[in-house]
Chain A
Amino acid sequence: MTEPTATRVHFYQVGSFAVGNRLLSADDRTVQSNPARTNSIDSGHRACQGCGEALGARYALDAAMRATNDRLVAVNATGCLEVFSTPYPETSWRIPWLHSLFGNAPAVATGVAAAMRVKGRDDVRVVGQAGDGGTVDIGFGTLSGMFERNDDVLFICYDNEGYMNTGVQRSAATPPAARTATTDVVGPEPGNVFGQGKDLPRIAMAHDIPYVATATVADLHDLERKVERAMEVRGARYLHVLVPCPLGWGSASSDTVRLARLATESGLFPVFEAEDGVVTGARRIRRRVGVEEYLRPQRRFAHLFNGAGRPDVVARLQAMADANIERYGLAPDEEE
């Protein structure tokens, strides 16, 4: 594991974690700290208060804009991000942007990349983006095709763990035990069942594409660095960004970043990167917490804590976190 944990920028008060830092040189600051950042997705969009996806999309695309010297085209799948950003007569996008369908964003992105290449405009880079439904479910076929052809597209999944646009239904990215509109908290195994779901970053790695990474809206420096790294590479690349959804998760709108942080600090969402199918780095946990600390603020998991609660289910989730920590070597330094 090459990626060091926690404090990466030493000696600068908040250098590794906060968005900006007046003490850092301009080159070491995040794109988001720059008043001249693109704001790829602009004010006036209709996302919920505290929307993690709106935030994640701006983080990722602004970074991609910097990495490409503003030579970027985005292709968007149907979903929350698309609906809240482009209701006629208003669009929030400040970059060239195309929405076609729910399940075809990777293929459309392939088409855009092909057009750019054939026109000799290799400087223009293409990002495809979708929510987890558009990525792991309905868009999976076209995504896998884009991967195996190694088309020159960075595909970004904004994972909020369900179909939030349509009213919070289960997707193959919904975690076990979570309540959704189609996995109600009734019956002997309330919420989403264990033993299902797709681990798309690992599936992406199995395509041996040059770059796969995960990130969250809680670690901007890490996310931006990964976008930048992705843009240094040609071919199919995949970035999976955890974006908490206050509506779907039943969390406070102010908790969006905190929950993303707890997801990584509990080990439930491993943040790592892989090149050519091999894990090359993982972001170590800095202040380890039990999964309960992450689960409790979310009403979709409330049934695990009401009354006598379901310590057995919490334990199973903890075991998943522990397995991630083991698999990716996420344990904090002192625990080694």
Chain B
Amino acid sequence: MERPFAITLDVGSSRANHTGSWRVERPVYVDRLPPCNDACPAGENIQRWLYHAESGDYENAWHTLVEENPLPAIMGRVCFHPCETACNRAQVDEAVGINAVERFLGDTALAHGWSLPAPGPATGRKVLVVGAGPAGLSAAYHLRRRGHAVRLVDSAPRLGGMLRYGIPAYRLPRDVLDAEIARIVNMGVEVGLNETVTDIAAAREAAGADAVFLAVGAQLGKRVSIPAGDSAKVIDAVSFLHQVADDDPPLLGRRVVVYGGGDTALDAARTAKRLGATDAVIVYRRNREKMPAHAEEVEQALGEGVTVRWLSTIERFEGERLVIEKMALNAEGFPEATGEFEELDADALVLALGQDTDLSLLAGSEVAVADGVVQVVDSMMTDVPGIFAGGDAAPSNRTATVAVGHGKRAARGIDAYLAGRVDERPARHALAEAGRLNTWYYADAPRTERPELERIRRQTNFEEVIGGLTEDNALFEARRCLSCGNCFECDNCFGVCPDNAVMKLGPGERYAFNYDFCKGCGICVAECPCGAIEMVPERI
């Protein structure tokens, strides 16, 4: 149609006017490090696997997860989830139940028989892994993925290390443990059980290994000197739990006292309870706030009838009677003796006062040891080239998750060492702080708690205490993720731009700015829920 001049205009002609010239700042998309990822000792890309779980694509989620951690069903049970402590959602309502979703994914994978990634092409290099706990298993997995041959040896008759011998079955069912270990072994790991390495250099040579990873754990229970009569039954918690795990529990009697305040103390008390103790009493020298054990473990133990004598130390164990001294916290929060004493009936005393590492295998080597643990650099290599160490045997706060992370780091370090490269870790993104989020956009959604086993049943058997999430609950929980610092394609930038200067690139492809038209108003930055856009000064 012939248009009247000037008064009538053809549609869309304003695209000739490039309003990008108005801009003094430009928005750019960024990826920031979510606090969960930042806090995860195993280096999991939690935000990323939750992203897949959010859409119900559990298989993809699980594959993303096991890129970093091959033991999700285990970690979904035993990890103390520092990710949740760091989670920004805690500042909105409650942290996302990451651990529960991890377990859901791990269990779902086992149920469906999803496979770990295939081993990498063979490199012809071989690595000896000493110790088949979480660090050793993790290292074996990551080394196999890089194509290195792995020989995994352990002094115990079964694989799993402290996962098996330190964590009671009611927290980690053995079928789960066995299944996840088997998956790793099936990647072509050569296993040597009941093999105690006594000389690291000799073992390396014997195995024909190009490198060694030491992950021997901390298996020795610390003992303290408590005056005790001959008749008194005293055992350390590590041995106690190990024997239980070997189906050979010691007879402790009806009244069991556990001495200590860590998670192992709780495990010991709860295990004693399950073995028939009527009284399972924990004696701890400080108060509940100062207790190093994780709060939820304490809560569960108390719920099962375990009792705690706070602010108490054991003076002596006479016959069937413990003498306890009351303590008081001084201004600095340290316990001080009060001179007040009490008595407590007990058939047995379990000492849960920490563990030491048996490093006798390093005798004669150049490997540096300090404070009872092996000294390593960032790549987990010791002073001796080719010898790496991790897990409880290296400086750490001794959790299974840290061990898994060590195994991964060591595998990467070993890989670099074998290739003659310097192990360089990619630069970390800036942290996605809560202040960068626009939390308005997230749906109101309080956390889904996992169902807990009936209390009465917990007192008598080793059934798993904490249940898993149903699929609905897991999906809900995954969707509580704020995706801090990482675009999750909510379309906000695409929608809120008054100049239509954001291009939507399609599922999974995110967005791009059309700088021909972007005037630099910054609404997209302000309204991005997860803080994945920032303004930068315009180039001149």
Contact = CB atoms under 8 A, between A and B. Distances in A.
A and B directly contacting (CB within 8 A):
yes
B225 interface: no
A13 B479 contact: yes
A125 to B, nearest CB: 18
Contacts of B11: 42, 91, 93-95
Contacts of A220: 495
B493 to A, nearest CB: 8
Contacts of B441: 14, 17-18
B495 A32 contact: yes
Contacts of A92: 12, 14
A11 B443 contact: yes
Given A89-B9, A254-B525, A20 B495 contact: yes
A6 B444 CA distance: 8
B302 interface: no
Given A18-B441, A18-B529, A13 B481 contact: yes
Interface in B1-55: 6-7, 9-19, 22, 54-55
Given A19-B495, A43-B14, A11 B9 contact: no
Interface residues of A, number: 59
Interface in B488-517: 488-492, 494-501, 504, 506-507, 514, 516-517
Interface in B513-540: 514, 516-517, 519-523, 525-527, 529
Given A30-B495, A89-B13, A253-B522, A7 B514 contact: no
Contacts of B494: 19-20, 32-33, 35
Nearest to A261: B440
B442 interface: yes
Nearest to A20: B491
A43 B501 contact: yes
Interface string A1-35: 00000110111111111111111000001101101
A44 B496 contact: no
B523 A253 contact: yes
A10 B12 CA distance: 38
A54 B54 contact: no
A19 B490 contact: yes
Nearest to A18: B490
B529 A14 contact: yes
A14 B495 contact: no
A50 interface: yes
A45 interface: yes
A90 B441 CA distance: 36
Contacts of B525: 254
A255 interface: yes
Contact of B54 (A13, A16, A20, A44): A13
Interface in A136-168: none
Contact of B521 (A21, A85, A253, A286): A253
The SS class assigned to the B binding surface is loop
B286 interface: no
A334 to B, nearest CB: 11
A254 B522 contact: yes
B499 A45 contact: yes
Interface residues on B, range: 35 or more
Contacts of A44: 14-19, 517
B133 to A, nearest CB: 37
A42 B491 contact: no
A18 B439 CA distance: 11
A256 B16 CA distance: 26
Nearest to B483: A13
A200 B303 CA distance: 61
A47 interface: yes
B499 A43 contact: yes
Contacts of A90: 9, 13-14, 16-17
A39 B476 CA distance: 34
Contact of B523 (A12, A32, A46, A256): A256
A54 B499 contact: yes
Nearest to A93: B11
A287 B12 CA distance: 40
Interface in A43-87: 43-47, 49-52, 54-55, 58-59, 85-86
B518 to A, nearest CB: 9
A258 interface: yes
Given A14-B529, A18-B490, A91-B9, A43 B15 contact: yes
A88 B17 CA distance: 11
B525 to A, nearest CB: 6
Interface in B457-496: 475-476, 479-481, 488-492, 494-496
Contact of A21 (B445, B475, B491): B491
A94 B13 CA distance: 9
Interface centre among B13, B516, B529 (most CB of A within 10 A): B13
A42 B526 contact: no
Nearest to B443: A7
Nearest to B526: A254
Given A18-B490, A44-B517, A254-B521, A91 B14 contact: yes
A287 B438 CA distance: 13
A12 B479 contact: yes
A252 interface: yes
A44 B20 CA distance: 9
A324 B167 CA distance: 59
Interface string B310-325: 0000000000000000
A20 B10 contact: no
A39 B442 contact: no
A121 to B, nearest CB: 17
A19 B514 contact: no
B517 A17 contact: no
Given A11-B476, A39-B500, 6 more contacts: A13-B488, A33-B494, A43-B14, A50-B522, A93-B11, A220-B495
18 contacts: A13-B443, A14-B529, A18-B441, A18-B490, A18-B529, A21-B490, A23-B55, A23-B479, A32-B495, A42-B15, A43-B501, A45-B14, A47-B498, A50-B519, A58-B498, A90-B13, A91-B12, A254-B523
Interface of A: 6-7, 9-23, 29-30, 32-33, 35, 39, 42-47, 49-52, 54-55, 58-59, 85-86, 88-95, 220, 246, 252-258, 261, 286-287
Interface of B: 6-7, 9-19, 22, 54-55, 440-445, 475-476, 479-481, 488-492, 494-501, 504, 506-507, 514, 516-517, 519-523, 525-527, 529
- 3 closest Cβ pairs, A-B complex: A20-B491, A19-B495, A254-B522
